[in-house]
Amino acid sequence: MNPQLFTNVKIFDGTGAPTFVGEALVDGNLIRAVARGNGGIPRESYYDVIDGKGMTLMPGLVEAHAHVTYSNMAQFSELGLIPIEEHTILALQNVKLMLDSGFTSLYSAASAKFRLEAVLRDAIDAGKFPGPRMRAASPELTATGGLGDERQYHTNHQGFELIADGPDEIRRTVRTLIREGVDTIKMNISGDMFAGRQGFARRLSYTEAEVAAAAEEAHMRGAWLSCHARADAAVKLALKYDFRVIYHCDFIEGETYDLLEAKRDSVFLAPAIGVIYATAYEAEPWGITREFVEKSELFTMIEQCPKVYGELRKRGLRVLPGGDYGFAWNPIGTNARDLEHFVNILGFTPADALMAATKWGGEIMDIPNLGLVSDGYLADLLLVDGDPVENIKLLQDRDNIKVVMKDGVYYKRLIPTPGM
């Protein structure tokens, strides 16, 4: 493909700085030049020139709490009933939908089957199927009775979780997962409002010895760690044992803010506000009653979220969008709604929310030249009809995303471009 010159566009470069009229040159899989104004990049006769007609050129979005092997289910137990063949097809459909929705990278927060995400990642990287860049996760490691343990004593049922109890069993499980190619181990350190007795979200699900065993094995073998950690004690354990990504942090207090601040350069946070909001306000058709919502403290979580994350942002923590999408009332493909929640609930400006989904997204993916519209960066780009900085909801309508480019390759073109 010839070099692609995007001109007559507004550029949001991913840093949070104001958009500017300019142009960008893509050659191969890299952005080779960015200039302010039109005509700032010297033309060559063999360039393909794309007139953006005032649309916004921006980095591809990064989903920081992805579940692309989820089935938009109403119950966790449904995931275990999907045969692997059908589940593979479902996952391929989901990653294509994510790409069409503007997400060119995703950091997984758990797979629904043992090897599914690792295989999916490799197939995408090999060019066999369209999809975002992926950091593949394990299924959720959970203790007996913890979040994800859908077993019933009287019947044998395969769920989406991996039950592992005790340090030795956890070590074997982590070793096996890393052998099978996952990038990150997901561990449910705390309980959750969807499992166990009332208040379980404020309690530990694993002991410190069990968390330490998982961490030692992962670090020894070069894998990352992420965790489900709503409880204050769970976040403390995650920090003590160098978990890289911590999800939720709903009930942290006191010194935990200081502990997080001390590791602000090495840890990433994602509140997953999307699923909390949708469950609280939009899930009644699937049997989620107001009584359950109140009992489960969902309204409390929504109320506390801007306070918790407002303080964490003041302390320099990187807070990324990613809302646990993959449930019936919070389906895959609506992930960009998290950006609106970041603005309306967490108090981000639209530019800051977009920066979190692009610049910081590149950092959580651990790809140094990902997440900005800048010279030498990977050409993961969106061309959006309108300006998301002025209207963050634009990205929720896939029809507004006229171009999706990943690694210098067009995956979506809803406007005429040379060579079509």
Predicted TM-score of the model (pTM): 0.95
Range name among 37-41, 170-174, 178-182 with the lowest pLDDT average: 37-41
- Given a cut of 60, is residue 420 above it in pLDDT? no
- Given a cut of 90, is residue 389 above it in pLDDT? yes
DSSP, collapsed to helix, strand or coil, labels residue 4 as strand
DSSP, collapsed to helix, strand or coil, labels residue 26 as strand
CATH fit for domain 61-364, picks 3.55.10.10, 3.90.1640.10, 3.20.20.140, 1.10.540.10: 3.20.20.140
238-242: long-range contacts, CB 8 A cutoff, minimum separation 24? 238/189, 238/211, 239/263, 239/267, 241/211, 241/212, 241/214, 241/215, 242/215, 242/266
Which pLDDT tens digit goes with each residue over 282-299? 999 999 999 999 988 899
Which pLDDT tens digit goes with each residue over 300-342? 999 999 999 999 999 999 999 999 999 999 999 999 999 999 9
Alpha-carbon torsion angle 404, 406, 409, 410, nearest 10? -10
For the chain, report the end-to-end CA distance as a whole number of angstroms: 11
Q: How many whole angstroms separate alpha carbon 390 and alpha carbon 399?
A: 17
Task: Give backbone dihedrals phi and psi of 113, rounded to 5 degrees, phi first.
Answer: -140, 160
Homologous superfamily in CATH for domain 4-60+371-413? Urease, subunit C, domain 1 (2.30.40.10)
Kindly state the percentage of the chain with pLDDT values over 90: 86
- Pure H helices in 152-224: 167-179, 208-220
- Given a cut of 80, is residue 176 above it in pLDDT? yes
In the prediction, which pLDDT does 410 show? 97
Hey, where are the domains in the chain? 4-60+371-413, 61-364
> Nearest to residue 294, comparing CAs of 224, 193, 370, 197?
193
- The two tokens of residue 289 are 């009653």
